[in-house]
Structure 1
Amino acid sequence: MRLAPPMLIAAGLLAGCAATPEQQAAQAERDAGHAAELAQQLDGFTAGDAQACLPVNTTRRTRYYGDTILYEVSGRLVYRTDTTGGCNLERDDILVTQTPIGRLCRGDIARTIDRTSRFQTGSCALGAFVPYRKTTEG
């Protein structure tokens, strides 16, 4: 079967987008590092029931671990949301969310912007917000 030239070009572009084994190994290593950092950050905290929304005026700090975002409310309370990916959070881009109702909700779309060029570099959907409370030691 003979492919038309445009189809060959499209097939070549798709093949060029496929990750090499080295890139896949590097990504797996980054993912393992993010998982270890996240586990360390949440050590001593207990997860609660997931919530659909998070009031943005209560958060004082945001941290990124791969496709996971932690919103710190206090030293004893953080909220975790897992994104759909695609936000380039590990590149030190700026996370931009728009919330006319004063809270972030599951399914809201977040965008990332390059710090230097101010061009959009990605977007992702936010997941449910899981509260993690510091376990009191007896």
Structure 2
Amino acid sequence: MRLPILILASALIASPVIAQDRVAASEAELARIVEGRTMGKPVDCINLRDIRSSEIVPNIGIVYRMNNGTLMVNRPAGGTIADRDDILVTRTIGTRLCRIDIVTLVDRNSQMFSGSLSLDDFVPYSRLPRKVN
């Protein structure tokens, strides 16, 4: 009887550590993605036509790659934490994706609803200008 209790207790103690490790690994991945870029002033909205692609950074947020080479990083304010197996489904009114929009998550394998996210500010990361010698 004591062994199952000990196993459960150790699992509960280890859970926050594992979650912190996942977040730290995701922060490192985001740092790698934006490496060599400067962070700009956050904006409320981005034009849908300017988005080339999007990438989920698990436990952190979404990186939108823009046609002009800028990366727009969105750390959702609330909702389910997205992972790589999620498909982002966005329904907007108009031609812009804004901080008040809700993104629905669909599991890539089962094609079933897996949660939703409430977008926050979009933080631009632009390439540093090259130095001319």
Question: Normalization by structure 2: what TM-score?
Answer: 0.81
Whether contact under 8 Å (2:52, 2:64) holds in the other structure is yes
- Equivalent residue for 1:7? none
Name which of 86, 89, 92 aligns with 1:96.
89
User: Compared with structure 1, are the counterparts of its residues 77 and 118 closer, same or farther at alpha carbon in structure 2 (3 Å cutoff)?
Assistant: same
Could you tell me how far 1:126 is from its partner in structure 2? 0.4
Whether contact under 8 Å (1:67, 1:85) holds in the other structure is no
Task: Tell me how far apart the structure 1 counterparts of residues 104 and 15 of structure 2 sit (CA, whole Å).
Answer: 24
Task: Tell me how far apart the structure 2 counterparts of residues 75 and 28 of structure 1 sit (CA, whole Å).
Answer: 34
Q: Aligned pair 1:71/2:64, yes or no? A: yes
- Equivalent residue for 2:19? 27
Name which of 92, 95, 107 aligns with 1:114.
107
Unaligned runs of 5+ in 1: 1-18
Superposition RMSD on alpha carbons, in Å?
Answer: 1.8
Count the aligned residue pairs.
Answer: 120
Task: Tell me how far apart the structure 1 counterparts of residues 30 and 24 of structure 2 sit (CA, whole Å).
Answer: 10
Spell out structure 1 runs of 4+ moving beyond 3 A.
85-88
Q: Percent identity?
A: 33
SS at match of 1:89: coil
Higher mean Cα deviation, 46-55 or 109-118? 109-118
Could you tell me how far 1:49 is from its partner in structure 2? 1.3
- Equivalent residue for 1:81? 74
Q: Aligned pair 1:48/2:48, yes or no? A: no
Task: Tell me how far apart the structure 2 counterparts of residues 59 and 91 of structure 1 sit (CA, whole Å).
Answer: 19
Question: Normalization by structure 1: what TM-score?
Answer: 0.78
Could you tell me how far 1:75 is from its partner in structure 2? 6.8
User: Compared with structure 1, are the counterparts of its residues 43 and 91 closer, same or farther at alpha carbon in structure 2 (3 Å cutoff)?
Assistant: closer
Task: Tell me how far apart the structure 2 counterparts of residues 114 and 46 of structure 1 sit (CA, whole Å).
Answer: 33
